Structure 1
Amino acid sequence: MLGSLTKNQCERVLLSELVGRIGCHVSGKMYIVPLSYVFEKGYLYAHAKEGLKITMMRKNPNVCFQVDQIDDMVHWRSVVIWGKFEEITTPAAQDKTLELLDDRFKVYNTSESVKPVFNTTGQELLKEKKPVLFRIAVDEMTGRFENGESK
Structure 2
Amino acid sequence: MKNPIHELERSDCLSLLENNFMGRLGFIADNTPFILPTTYYYDADDDCILCYSSEGSKLDAMRKNNRVSFQVDDIKSIKEWQSVLLFGEFNELIAFEAKINLQKFVEGVQDTISKIQAKSPKFINDFMFRMSQEQMPIVYKIQLKNVTGKFRTS
Please classify the TM superposition score into its range, dividing by the shorter chain length.
0.7 to 0.9
1:10-49 alignment, distance < 5 Å: 10-41=13-44, 42-49=47-54
Indicate if the aligned counterparts of 2:41 and 2:51 stay in contact, CA closer than 8 A.
Answer: yes
TM-score by length of 1: 0.84
Instruction: Describe the superposition over 1:53-108 as per-residue Cα deviations: whole angstroms up to 9, x where unpaired.
Output: 111100100001000001111110000000000000131x1232122122123432
* Large movers: runs of 4+ above 6 Å: none
1:32-71 alignment, distance < 5 Å: 32-41=35-44, 42-71=47-76
For residues 28 and 35 of structure 2, the distance between their equivalents in structure 1, rounded to whole angstroms, comes to 9
Larger helix share, 1 or 2: 2
Paired AA for residue 104 in structure 1: G
Change (3 A) 1:89 1:2: same
> Percent sequence identity over matched residues?
24
The answer to whether residue 148 in structure 2 is matched with residue 145 in structure 1 is no
How many residue pairs were aligned?
140
TM-score by length of 2: 0.83
1:142 is displaced (CA, Å) by: 0.2
For residues 87 and 123 of structure 1, the distance between their equivalents in structure 2, rounded to whole angstroms, comes to 18
For residues 84 and 65 of structure 1, the distance between their equivalents in structure 2, rounded to whole angstroms, comes to 10
Indicate if the aligned counterparts of 1:24 and 1:56 stay in contact, CA closer than 8 A.
Answer: yes
Give me the CA root mean square deviation: 1.9
1:45 is displaced (CA, Å) by: 0.3
The answer to whether residue 84 in structure 2 is matched with residue 110 in structure 1 is no
For residues 87 and 54 of structure 1, the distance between their equivalents in structure 2, rounded to whole angstroms, comes to 9
Give 5+ residue unaligned stretches, structure 1: 125-129
1:117 is displaced (CA, Å) by: 4.5
Give 5+ residue unaligned stretches, structure 2: 111-119
